[in-house]
Structure 1
Amino acid sequence: MLDVRRMQILRAVVTSGSVTAAAAHLGYTPSAVSQQVAALERETGIALLERVGRGVQPTAAGRLLTGHAAVISQNVAEAESALADLRAGRTGRIAICYFGSVGPTLLAPALARFRREYENLTIDLTLTELEDPLRGITQGDTDLTITVGASAEGRPGIRVVHLIDDPYRAVLPRGHPRAGQRVLNLADLAGEPWVGCEPPGPCLEPVVDACAAAGFSPDFVANSEDYATAQGFVAAGLGVSLIPQLGLSTSHPDVVIRRVRRPEPVRAIYAAVREVALAQPAIRTLLDALKSAAEEWHMQLATRCLE
């Protein structure tokens, strides 16, 4: 295998026209340059330079290798430039996993802000796996995952960042006897039929735990893992439901949405990234954009609660 460094030394000799000039340019001694060219000639088994007066000129083999050395130099320069762009986040790909209700409420505004700074990055979006939402992060297939109740315990090298707490709201049929109350005690719904809207897991746990703290277990008569469908079931009079605020960006015209207390169920939403990824400016910017979107949503929620 040819020594690339020696090929570059040969190129310097050919382009400068002498061993002495090449040595001065490279910061070597003329003797060291001559030794490297001689070693390259032994590798190739053919003469690469010939003397012409006080200088040298390449043989046919020398011109051939010099041309390839120029191509190698160009490729290395392009690779270094591409790597610098990738390191700075100017190019490349970011893979994001998320769950449905944060898509329009948190992720969309965060990405709009992020794209203003990193317009050339490709963004791949996929829905989070319910069984193991952090698997993509752990395996290196995903750069950032937005999930509920994430724990990095037993997963070294994973950083979990809290974004926001998302409170659940009571969703009642518009003609329900308690529809006129602005705030409901959770125990007020103890004897009602319930419409479930969460699969078993971190989103259902806050509901079940809060109901247990209020002294009852909800009687689920219908279930849907889609918030819009769950609202339709409520509007049809099948029961009442608790739906997280982020899942209520669009409300059914035949339901009312009320705050719940004593206790108020809340799900915690996090972003998970690999520790090493935090060295990338693009990942840090994306995290900051998500935090800002979460803060703006929280302020909007507080404003609505005061109305």
Structure 2
Amino acid sequence: MLDVRRLQVLRSVVDSGSVSAAAAALGYTPSAVSQQVAALEKETGTALLERAGRGVRPTAAGLLLAEHAAGIERRVAAAGAALADLLAGRSGTLTIRYFATAGAELVAPAVAAFRADHPGVRLDLGMTDPTDPLQDVVQGRADLAVVVRPRDAAPPGVRLVHLLDDPYRAVLPKGHRLAAKRVLDLADLADEPWVGSERPGPCLDAVLDACAEAGFHPEFAVDSEDSPTAQGFVAAGLGIALVPLLGLAARRHPGVTVRRLRTPEPVRSLHAAVRESAWGRPVLARLVSALRETAGAV
């Protein structure tokens, strides 16, 4: 493999037309330049320069290598510029994972704000694994994931940035006997048939933990695993459901009544999850900032 530094010295000699001029341009002594060229000639096994009056001119081999040296310098400069763009947030790719209700109400407006400031950054957006959403971040498949997680419960190597606390609401059929109350105790729902609105995972855990605190375990008559479907079953009179506010923001079924809960009020805590090793990237910090700003507005 040819020595890149020697190639750069040869190019300087070819461009300037003399060893002494190249030495002045590079800050070397003429002897040092001559030694570098001689070493390159030994390395290649061919003459690279020949005398031309008071200066030198390249042989065919010398001209060829000088042209390649110029190409190397251009590529190095391009690599430096590309790296600068990446570090400054002018280019690159961010992979973002989220779950349905967070995508509609939180991620979408944050991404729109981010793209206005960073049009050169490509965003790979997709749904996360609901059973273990942090794995996309831990294993490097995502730069950021919006996850439900208890506060101060970050796994090793992951930083959690709190976005918002999303309280659950009781969703009742229109005309239900409990609809006359403005606020329900969670225990009021203990004997009701329940319609599930969450997949197994941290969101459902938040509901079940709150029910346990209230002294009961809900009996699920229907397992729907998403908010719109759960509201449809509730409207049909098949049970009651607990749905987070974000799940009610985009679509509320006309056949249901929504009431606040207390003692306790179930809440899921939403965070942006980022690997600690990636935390210093300015473009990633800007995306987290956009998510926090959107969460504040929500």
TM class, shorter-chain normalised? over 0.9
Q: CA deviation at 1:211?
A: 1.6
Residue in structure 2 matched with residue 6 of structure 1 by the alignment: 6
SS of 1:90's equivalent?
coil
**Structure 2 unaligned residues grouped into runs of 5+:** none
- Aligned pair 1:285/2:255, yes or no? no
Q: CA deviation at 1:54?
A: 1.4
Match of 2:214, as an amino acid? A
Distance 1:95 1:69 in 2: 37
Which deviations, in whole Å up to 9, do the C-alpha atoms of 1:237-268 show, x marking residues without a partner?
00001111111111001101111011100011
Q: Compute the TM-score of the two structures, normalised by the length of structure 1.
A: 0.93
RMSD in angstroms over aligned alpha carbons? 1.2
Distance 2:217 2:143 in 1: 39
Q: Compute the TM-score of the two structures, normalised by the length of structure 2.
A: 0.96
Q: CA deviation at 1:208?
A: 1.4
Which deviations, in whole Å up to 9, do the C-alpha atoms of 1:137-170 show, x marking residues without a partner?
12222100111116433x2x32111111110000
Residue in structure 2 matched with residue 147 of structure 1 by the alignment: 147
SS of 2:222's equivalent?
strand
Distance 2:277 2:215 in 1: 45
Which deviations, in whole Å up to 9, do the C-alpha atoms of 1:192-239 show, x marking residues without a partner?
111111122211112112222222221110011111000000000000
> Comparing 173-182 with 92-101, which one deviates more in the overlay?
173-182
Residue in structure 1 matched with residue 255 of structure 2 by the alignment: 254
**Structure 1 unaligned residues grouped into runs of 5+:** 298-307
> What is the percentage of aligned positions where both structures have the same residue?
61
SS of 2:265's equivalent?
coil
Residue in structure 2 matched with residue 54 of structure 1 by the alignment: 54
Residue in structure 2 matched with residue 30 of structure 1 by the alignment: 30
Match of 1:77, as an amino acid? A
Residue in structure 2 matched with residue 40 of structure 1 by the alignment: 40
Aligned length: 295
- Aligned pair 1:207/2:207, yes or no? yes
Distance 1:212 1:140 in 2: 35
SS of 2:194's equivalent?
strand
Contact kept, 8 Å, 2:168 with 2:261, in 1: the verdict is yes
Distance 1:273 1:117 in 2: 21
Distance 2:132 2:243 in 1: 22
Residue in structure 2 matched with residue 133 of structure 1 by the alignment: 133
SS of 1:131's equivalent?
coil
SS of 2:161's equivalent?
strand
Which deviations, in whole Å up to 9, do the C-alpha atoms of 1:75-124 show, x marking residues without a partner?
11111111111122211110011111101111011111111111111111
